[in-house]
Structure formats: C-alpha cells, structure tokens
Amino acid sequence: MSFALTLSSPSLNWTTMDCCQWEGITCDVAGRVTHLHLSSKGLKLKGGSLPEDIYDATALEEIAIPANSFYGGISNRIVNLTNLTTLDFYFNHFSGMLPIDIGKLSKLKVLLLHSNNLEGSLPPSFLNCTNLMELNLGFNLLKGDISAFNFSRLGDNSITGNIPTEIGKLQLLHTLDLSANQLSGNIPDQISDLKKLGDVGSFGESFVWRNPTFNDES
C-alpha cells in the first residue's frame, strides 16, 4: 500500500516485500489486509491526508491508528470499507466534517474519533449505524441537535436538544456519555431498556452511564 510510503515513523521497520509480515498488519488467508493496528507509534503522514488507496482495501475490518500525529480530513470514500467493524482514530489531528455517508458502514461496532479537530453537524446517516456498541466523538468541535439521533458517546462538544426515545433501540450499548453538552428535557424512560448499560452517574450538568463489567463476549 502507498500508505507505507507516505508514513514518517521513528519506530516501524517495514522493509520486507510482503506487507502481511509488517508490524501492525494482519491479513486473511488470501493475503488481503484485514486489520491495521498502529497505536502510539509517533506516526506522521508526509503528504497530509490518508492516501486514497487505503479506501480500496475493502477487506479491512479494523483501522486502529490512535495516539499518533495524523492530520487532514476523513474522506467520504471510507464508506467503501463496508466490512469495517472498528474505526479508531482518536487522539490525532483529523479535521473537517464527518463523512456524510458514514452510515453505510453498517457493520461498525466501535467508532472512536475523540480528541481530534472534527467539526460541523452530525450526519443523518448515523441513524444506520445500529450495530454500534461504543461511540466516542468527544473533545471535537461538533455541533447540532441530538434529538434525531440514537447513539452514545458525544461528550464535550456543543450538542443540544433532548435525548431521543429511540435510544432504547440500542440494545448492545454499554457506555453512554453525553457530559459537557447543552442537553435539555428529561432522561427518557427507554434508558431502562438498555440492559447492558451500567448504573447512571452524573458529570457536570449532564450524565454518564458506564457498565464496568462489560466485555465483548457478554
């Protein structure tokens, strides 16, 4: 992948011709890259944004590149990766708006984009991400009304409106953090339908729920 050619890294030693042998890369039996896991490697992109050919690696199930120094936007072409279950970009410098068609990633279970510089409103297509178990978009520059949405962790943005009753449909949800926003109204009774959700706690003028016993096999 040209991804390797655009990286500036003090710690990776990707020297073999077979990318399936590289650190942080997992391939399937057909030699297709399925997992890219490069956490806290001090990585930077020489050309700015993620290279376009990463969006052609349609066998990818996980992209986890948190705690690096990546910049630029997240292309809407990421929706080509329809097998993605984990997208983990937290604690980088990604900017711009969220991909407008991100809801096409219907297999997503984990979406962690917190601590970046993302901005703008939340795409309506998020309504299609019904398999999400963990979502964190906190510590960005997002804004808008949450009332039409039914997902979880949006702490420390400028989210407004009521918590929607549709939140009760997220039966797999185990963490809900809406702290440090400007929400209004009552906590919907449908919260009690979320059996995997932990006890309610408070944070500032909003609320945090966590299930400390959660694991992916439960």
Residue 145 has pLDDT above 70, yes or no: no
Report the pLDDT averaged over residues 34-42: 92
Q: Which residue has the higher pLDDT, 70 or 4?
A: 70
165 located within any domain? yes
Using left for φ > 0, alpha for ψ between -120 and 50, and beta otherwise, residue 123 falls in beta
Residue 153 has pLDDT above 50, yes or no: no
Residue by residue, what is the 3-state secondary structure of 46-73? CCCCCCHHHHHCCCCCEEECCCCCCEEC
218 located within any domain? no
CB 43 within 8 A of CB 66: no
Number of domains in the chain: 1
217 located within any domain? no
Termini Cα distance of the chain: 36
CB 130 within 8 A of CB 169: yes
Percentage of the chain beyond pLDDT 70 is 64
The CA distance from 172 to 217, in Å, is 11
Residue 209 has pLDDT above 70, yes or no: no
The CA distance from 158 to 110, in Å, is 22
183 located within any domain? yes
* Element at 209 (helix H, strand E): strand 206-210
Report the pLDDT averaged over residues 125-147: 75
What confidence score (pLDDT) does residue 1 get? 58
135 located within any domain? yes
For the ranges 73-87, 121-135, 194-208, which has the lowest average pLDDT? 194-208
Averaged confidence pLDDT in the chain: 76
What confidence score (pLDDT) does residue 97 get? 94
Residue 160 has pLDDT above 60, yes or no: no
Report the pLDDT averaged over residues 30-48: 87
Cβ contacts of 17 within 8 Å, gap of 6 or more: none
Name the H helices within 46-180. Answer: none
125 located within any domain? yes
Q: Which residues of 117-146 are buried (b: 16+ CB within 10 A; e: fewer)?
A: ebeeebbebbeebeebbbbbbbbbebebeb
What confidence score (pLDDT) does residue 140 get? 85
92 located within any domain? yes
What confidence score (pLDDT) does residue 13 get? 73
Report the pLDDT averaged over residues 190-217: 52
Residue 68 has pLDDT above 60, yes or no: yes
What confidence score (pLDDT) does residue 217 get? 42
Report the pLDDT averaged over residues 173-201: 63
60 located within any domain? yes
For the ranges 37-51, 159-173, 197-211, which has the lowest average pLDDT? 197-211
Residue 25 has pLDDT above 70, yes or no: yes
Helix (H, G, I), strand (E, B) or coil at 212: coil
Residue 41 has pLDDT above 70, yes or no: yes
Q: Tell me the CATH number at 48.
A: 3.80.10.10
What confidence score (pLDDT) does residue 155 get? 42
Residue 125 has pLDDT above 90, yes or no: no
Residue 127 domain boundaries: 2-210
